[in-house]
Structure 1
Amino acid sequence: MFRQLLSRITKRQLVIGGVVLGILVLAGLIACVVAYHKREALLASTIARIQSRMAADYQIDLAIGKAYFSGMTTVTLEEVKVLPHDREQLAGVEEVSVSIKLFPLLTGDVRFGRLRVHDAQIQLIKKDSISNYDFVFKGLDTVDTAEEGLAEQPDEASVNMAQAANRMLNSVLYKIPEDMELRDFILTYRDDSISQRISVPNADIDNGYLTSAVFLNDNEAAWQVSGKLNPHKRQLYVKVHANGQKIAIPLLERKLGLKLSFDTIETRLREVYWTNNEFLHFKGEWAVKNLTINHWRIAQKDVVVPDAHVDAEVIVGNSHIELSKTSAVTVKKLVVHPFIRYTTVPDKTYAFGLETPEMEAQDLFDAFPKGLFESLEGIRVSGKIQYKLDAFLDTANPDSVQFDSNMEQKDFKVNAWGNANIPKINKTFVYTPYEDEKPVRDIVVGPENPNFIPLAQISPDLRNAILTTEDPSFFSHNGFVEEAIRTSIAINFKEKAFKRGGSTISMQLVKNVFLNRNKTIVRKLEEILIVWLMESTRAVSKERMYEVYLNVIEWGHNVYGINEAARYYFSKHPAQLTLGESIYLASIVPRPKTGLYSFNYEGGLKSYIAPYFSYIGNIMARRGLAPADSSGSYGFYAVSLREALRPDKPVAADTLQLEMPPTDFETELQQVRGLLDRIFNSSEEEENQ
């Protein structure tokens, strides 16, 4: 084949080809000669450009004693100092020699070949509120401001996220040398109370293989760092371990109270590539062994993860970034596939998903790190489960938020409850309420306590009013109401604060009875798991759950349970409560300590709460839970606080002030109205289908 091709080429064509090749070679030689002779000027201009930009953008002086080519493509810098304006010196290097790739330098790109660094120091110093590294945060502010400015520009001025990510990656990879010799590097941190020192006597990259020893506070700890770096192929692998010992980071503990240690941690950038010249894909892995975390906001005990592995794919497009569904988090036998997507155009949207394959139910509980969920320790289950969650929020239309959660189970059964002894509430038990994370008193929940009231002896108006305001579908749902969760997400997003939760009566009961009052990050997840166990196994009937709930929830300062509440406010037995009194008691469940503020000195209710009575009463009437009231008052004017609790008669000047509610009650009413309208409209639509 090759011979046939050669036989078709004429002598004239060979001559022309030779001439063209010669011209190209000559042009290359000329370019090399020009580049060689221009290299000092190129180096000087590059350094000047960097110095100018650092001074303008970050208020930093970059001082270089000497800068020269010490070889064909090797640049040596001596006595390099990084000096923030009006701050102590940030960094200094006695000598650094770097081999620079010449042709990228022609376009202003600095790519390292070989790097030698001797006697380098970086010192991070903070005195009071002033630091010599705060330019980093100023840089972030500048980026944020620039992004805000871009957002105001037309679409053509918007940033291509994929291209930006590619440039950022290249800026990092290009600075990784093929060979490196680092000697006597010291990093220190010092503030008014803490001083930390990390020293690296030597670190080498030899043909891409990284080896280094790292010492903390003069041999307080010794870490080994190894890896394989291949930046030109966009592949990196780094491993940190401590020769069988724990690697701890004492600075985090002293600054944040966070104890963090591990045996080994590994990270790998496996692959980076484009698809359709539009989407940039990052594939990598992360693994840790014997990770130990302790912080009072996370859990009360050490949280230990013996082995965890993350296999992730991040995809960046023109206007979105996502964690692909192919990503997997593995802890023991538990495999979870997370999905996150953030989109900027035409409006900002957030998507989140979570999915597991079908698995043995016990594998889920075995995968929980020790110390994370104390109440679930020791539980033994059987059967199979599979979980899927999908959520989506369009910031331009938060009321359209989507949220779907589904746990499929086959032959699921709890064989041993362990610490989560859910069936205990079927019998008499002791409940301990807390205030400010301190126990108030022990309350016996059962007939042995004269204040305990069976469900049948509580006024139907009270039972129905609480169900209407707190959890209308309590007797039909499985512990969770997705419509309530959707509404709470929308409200909280619009308010930019946590204004309303999506808790059901089941969740409130679990929070009060089964969980301690330590406000940890994972407490809500633990609450969800216990509710799922209680509801899916039918370990406790709905009637018993509601009975216990009404007998333990707070209705005022040191007022717990419906019997204490009825006697405290109205000197009545719970069976005697009227519709108006029931709606009032339902109104204060979210804020029990503010209940007395609703009354005037005559014992009647203040006018600002009347719309609440009208709204809740109309819903109850529509559902057949109360007789219709043409006046719309639903017992509002008949509610009378017992005389001993009534406030003193105010002087005329203070009357208007006292009539104002302690919070924006109208806003809260709108939130309640939005939630209940969506729930009841959703229920009516389902009934009509």
Structure 2
Amino acid sequence: MRIPKIKIPKKYLKIGAWVLGVFLIVCISLGAVAYSKREALLKKMMAKAIAKADKDYGLEVKIGSAGFTGLSTVKMTAISVVPKERDTLSSIGELSVGVKLFPLIFGNVKLSEVEMSDGFVSVVLKDSTTNIDFILKRKKKDSTENKGKSNLAEIANNILNQVLYKIPDDMDMKNMVFKFNDHDTAQLSFATAAVIDGGDLKSTINVNNGESTWHVDGYVNPGSKELSFTAYADGKKLELPYLNNKLHAKLSFDTLQTELKNAKYSGNDYKISGSWSVKNMLINQPRIASNDIIVQSAKLDADILVGPNYIALDSSSTAYLKTAEIHPYVKYTLGKNKIYELKLTAEEQDAQGVLDAFPQGLFESLEGLKVQGKVKYNLNFYLDTKTPDSVRFNSTLTPVDFKITKWGKTDLQKINSPFVYTPYEYGKPMRDITIGPSNPNFTPLNQISKNFINAVLTAEDPSFFTHNGFVEESIRKSIAVNYKEKKFKRGGSTISMQLVKNVYLSRQKTLARKAEEILIVWLIEHNHLVSKNRMLEVYFNIMELGKNIYGIGEASRYYFGKQPADLTIGDGLFLASIVPKPKASMYKFMAGGGLKPYMFNYFRFMGNIMARRGLTPADTAGYGFYNVRLREGLRQYLAPDTAAVDTAAFDGEEDDEGMPPVIMQDNNKNLFDRIFGGSKKDSSSVKQADTTTKSKKQLRQERREQRKREKELENGN
């Protein structure tokens, strides 16, 4: 099909030519006027900017000289920026800035070139102030002015565009030093030279006056929203001494790469696509592990979605550890009630490849383990802070033709035969205990009273014989309780987990140890390496049941002068009650050897649960409460009945092995400290008893606390 020619009369062409000519003449005239007055305009704009910096940010800005050196390039000298009553933030000898004219017509300042030399930027932290706290004040002011709903997608788009527009096409930075001073206890300095030429970035960074030399090379194309950087060091790993000096942590790596691939709107979401990768990253931090952990190869191909009120790592993202792959989905929704979501999906893949992908040094006991077959994994977590009790949690590691072909450093079947168990106090070994017939205190499972077995299982792990090492409902309830209490109050450990923790692993409370505990439990349970009966038998023979009292054989003779087979329902309930706080056991007795009255409610509550499950006959008299009598030889060590002992001091976290029975939880500790360290320490020290008699008010308070504990225990079972 041919497009017909459009014939335009000549008079209209002449009129158009005259209009265009006049427009060009006007533009040229205005440009000439602006060019002739640009120096005056520059001074006026600079004065306005300096005044605004002083008014809005409290900054004293000084510029020695300023002027145009080209059509759109401004050169300034002797620039200094000093926050009021703070250390100098920046000083620059010479700075030349060129802007692109076309974006400027539309009000956008896009840098075409930047030259900077002989200067420094210094961040100083001193006491409770810094020389950059003016930024925080400004943010606070902005948030006060913008109380309406903010669209996070728009904010992300604006911020990224502003950052990209400030990256010049060409840059030459010489003799610039970036310094950081943290309360005079840790200091960093980076003497930097960098060049951007046609999008190619080359830089050299001298760290702490020759301590090491870094390089950051890459490619920048801000207009297309494409960036790529690689960081490495000359002759050794790239590391930050600041982390070791200030935070007692060590972090280093051979190379670090990051790439921004694209950023654009996808519906109402702003989508940022990029990747991050690292080679031979070394981490050493006491809370994570007691030794160096090396991540040989890791990469994340990420699609980040920023919606109107949420930020998410989309499930299209892929994380790689060597050859292992996993797809993460993380979402954080803002609002009056925040929502946290986490999903992890690992498709079926080689089990040995997954095992080899774990960082070196992470799993000490499993080092050298060889397996065959495949595994796949799924995790789903959802927490709406408005209704924490409805939290969702499930985690499934599924084996496919999985088999262990070679043990690692530790034989996971070692407890099937006699072995030596070593309990620890204060991180030091107490004594060696043989778990086998050669130890006169060792008691086979069939020689332990069912009263004790049923009482402990009811209190600690009711579904022990039916679960595979983990109870998701217990973990779910623990998450809800800990979130509501804002502290680690309830654990979700099963007897399988407690056994693995005590027999196979070190006593150091770290993230690595917890992860290894979970993996060993899975290996034992899913491969049936140890029978349930043997696990329970070992557990009953190593469990702490008093100060330096380990195992049911020692405990039954110590408290009651009985054989484990002769324990009554009352004896069993008492011993079950002290499992969470074994060193507090003697405080539960009166001077005459009977149990203190406040224990009656515990006996009745636990006994009723056991009776409903058919584990013991119903007993309205308290399930043997009145028949529990401490061995006469121990009664001389009991406090007088008039002594006031704060029994609530012995309550606390379920996973609190070895904590001093009378030391209250430190509310200043964060959740991380409470799980892996901090206030929980092994000890045999006790608090001096108050010699005053309890008042009625104290007794009422004690009963209320006891009822609260009973309710929590009922919810847990």
Tell me which residue corresponds to 1:74.
Answer: 73
By how many angstroms is 1:199 displaced? 1.2
Gap change, CA 1:196 and 1:611, over 3 Å in 2: same
SS of residue in 1 equivalent to 2:534: helix
1:370 corresponds to 2:370: no
Deviation at 1:298, TM superposition (A): 2.1
* 1:79-478 equivalence runs, <5 A: 79-102=78-101, 110-126=109-125, 129=127, 132-133=130-131, 135=133, 139=136, 143=139, 157-190=148-181, 191-200=183-192, 202-276=193-267, 278-345=268-335, 347-478=337-468
Preserved contact between residue 587 and residue 638 of structure 2 (Cα < 8 Å)? no
Report the counterpart of residue 490 of structure 2 in structure 1. 500
Distance 1:142 1:289 in 2: 39
Distance 2:607 2:49 in 1: 71
Q: 1:52 and 1:663 mapped to 2: Cα distance?
A: 64
Partner of 1:656: 694
Cα distance, 1:184 vs structure 2: 0.3
Letter in 2 for 1:647: A
Indicate yes or no: 2:535 matched with 1:545. Answer: yes
Q: Distance in 1 between matches of 2:222 and 2:122?
A: 28
Distance 2:536 2:530 in 1: 10
How far apart, in 2, do the equivalents of 1:228 and 1:422 lie? 51
1:671 aligns with 2:712: yes
Q: Which amino acid aligns with 2:712?
A: Q
Contact 2:301 2:317 in 1 (8 A): yes
In structure 1, C-alpha distance between the alignment counterparts of 2:217 and 2:69, rounded to whole Å = 30
Of the structure 1 ranges 382-391 and 457-466, higher mean CA displacement relative to structure 2 is found in 457-466
- Give the TM-score of the pair, scaled to structure 2: 0.86
Q: Secondary structure at the match of 1:508?
A: helix
* Alpha carbons 2:541, 2:553 under 8 Å: kept: yes
CA contact (8 A) 2:598 2:703 kept: no
SS in 2 for 1:7: coil
Residue 686 of structure 1 corresponds to none
CA displacement at 1:409 relative to structure 2: 1.5
CA contact (8 A) 2:123 2:132 kept: no
Asked whether the equivalents of residues 83 and 89 of structure 2 are also in contact (C-alpha less than 8 Å), the reply is yes
Aligned to 2:623: 634
Query: 2:217 corresponds to which letter in structure 1?
Result: S
Residue 479 of structure 1 corresponds to which residue in structure 2? 469
2: distance between equivalents of 1:23 and 1:502? 81
Secondary structure of the residue aligned to 1:525 is: helix
Cα pair distance change 1:81/1:543, threshold 3 Å = same
Q: Counterpart of 1:650 in structure 2: which amino acid?
A: T
Question: What is the CA-CA distance between 1:182 and the residue it aligns to?
Answer: 0.3
Find the residue that maps to 2:541 and give its secondary structure: helix
Residues 37 and 385 of structure 1: CA distance in aligned 2, closer, same or farther (over 3 Å):
farther
Distance 1:88 1:149, change over 3 A: closer
* Matched-pair contact (CA < 8 Å) for 2:371–2:404: yes
Tell me how far apart the structure 1 counterparts of residues 292 and 43 of structure 2 sit (CA, whole Å). Answer: 54
What displacement does 1:480 show?
0.7
Q: Which amino acid in the other structure matches residue 479 of structure 2?
A: I
Question: 1:123, CA displacement in angstroms?
Answer: 2.8
2:185/2:246 contact within 8 Å kept:
no
Choose 113-122 or 84-93, whichever is displaced more: 84-93
- 1:559 match: secondary structure: coil
Counterpart-to-counterpart distance in 2, 1:207 and 1:539: 63
Residue 622 and residue 211 in structure 1: after superposition, are their counterparts in 2 closer, same or farther (change >3 A)?
same
C-alpha offsets along residues 290-341 of structure 1, whole Å, 9 cap, x if unaligned?
Answer: 2122222222222122221111110010011100111111111111111100
Quote the offset at 1:46 in angstroms.
6.0
Which sits farther off after the overlay, 565-574 or 520-529?
A: 565-574
Q: Supply the distance in 1 between the matched residues of 2:24 and 2:223 (Cα, whole angstroms).
A: 26
Q: 1:134 to 1:118 in 2, by over 3 A?
A: closer
Provide closer, same or farther for how the CA distance between residues 523 and 148 of structure 1 changes in structure 2, counting only shifts above 3 A.
Answer: farther
Distance in structure 2 (CA, Å) of the matches to 1:539 and 1:30? 90
Deviation at 1:246, TM superposition (A): 1.9
CA 1:327/1:121 → structure 2, altered by over 3 Å: closer, same or farther? same
2:518 paired residue number: 528
Return 655-664 or 202-211, whichever deviates more.
655-664
1:582 to 563, 572, 577: 572
Name which of structure 1's ranges 11-20 and 345-354 shifts more when overlaid on structure 2.
11-20
2:639 maps to what in 1?
A: 647
- Higher mean alpha-carbon deviation, 184-193 vs 251-260, is at 184-193
User: Which amino acid is the alignment partner of residue 516 of structure 1?
Assistant: S
Residue aligned with 1:4, SS: coil
Q: 1:131 to 1:334 in 2, by over 3 A?
A: same
User: What do the CA deviations read for 1:338-386 (whole angstroms, capped 9, x no partner)?
Assistant: 1100112473111001111111110111111111111111000011110
State the secondary structure of the residue aligned to 2:694: helix
Deviates more, 1:657-666 or 1:111-120: 657-666
RMSD: 2.9
Return the alpha-carbon distance in structure 1 between the equivalents of residues 601 and 241 of structure 2.
56
C-alpha contact 1:605 1:637 (8 A) present in aligned 2: yes
Unaligned runs of 5+ in 2: 645-690
* Range moving further from structure 2, 69-78 or 650-659: 650-659
The aligned counterpart of 1:680 is none
The equivalent residue for 1:682 is none
Conservation of the 8 A alpha-carbon contact between 2:642 and 2:692: yes
Q: Which amino acid aligns with 1:674?
A: N
In the TM superposition, residue 117 of structure 1 has moved relative to its aligned partner by 0.5
Q: Distance in 2 between matches of 1:307 and 1:557?
A: 47
Q: Does 1:561 align with 2:551?
A: yes
* SS of corresponding position for 1:357: strand
> Whole-Å Cα distance in 2 between the matches of residues 115 and 149 of structure 1?
34
- CA contact 2:461–2:495 (8 Å) conserved in 1: yes
Equivalents in 2 of 1:548, 1:668: separation in Å? 29
The alpha-carbon deviation at position 286 of structure 1 amounts to 0.9
> Paired residue for 2:60?
61
Q: How far off is 1:48 after superposition? A: 5.8
Cα distance in 2 between the residues matched to 1:384 and 1:429: 32
Distance 2:629 2:485 in 1: 35
Letter in 1 for 2:549: V
Residue 30 (structure 1) shift: 7.2
CA distance in 2 between counterparts of 1:336 and 1:177 reads: 37
Give, in whole Å, the separation in 2 of the partners of 1:398 and 1:146: 32
Q: What is the deviation of 1:613?
A: 2.5
Cα distance in structure 1, aligned partners of 2:566 and 2:40: 95
Q: Give the conservation status (yes or no) of the 8 Å contact 2:88–2:131.
A: no
Secondary structure, counterpart of 1:168 in structure 2? helix
Q: Name the CA distance, whole Å, in 1 between partners of 2:598 and 2:45.
A: 70
* CA-CA distance at 1:55 after TM superposition: 4.7
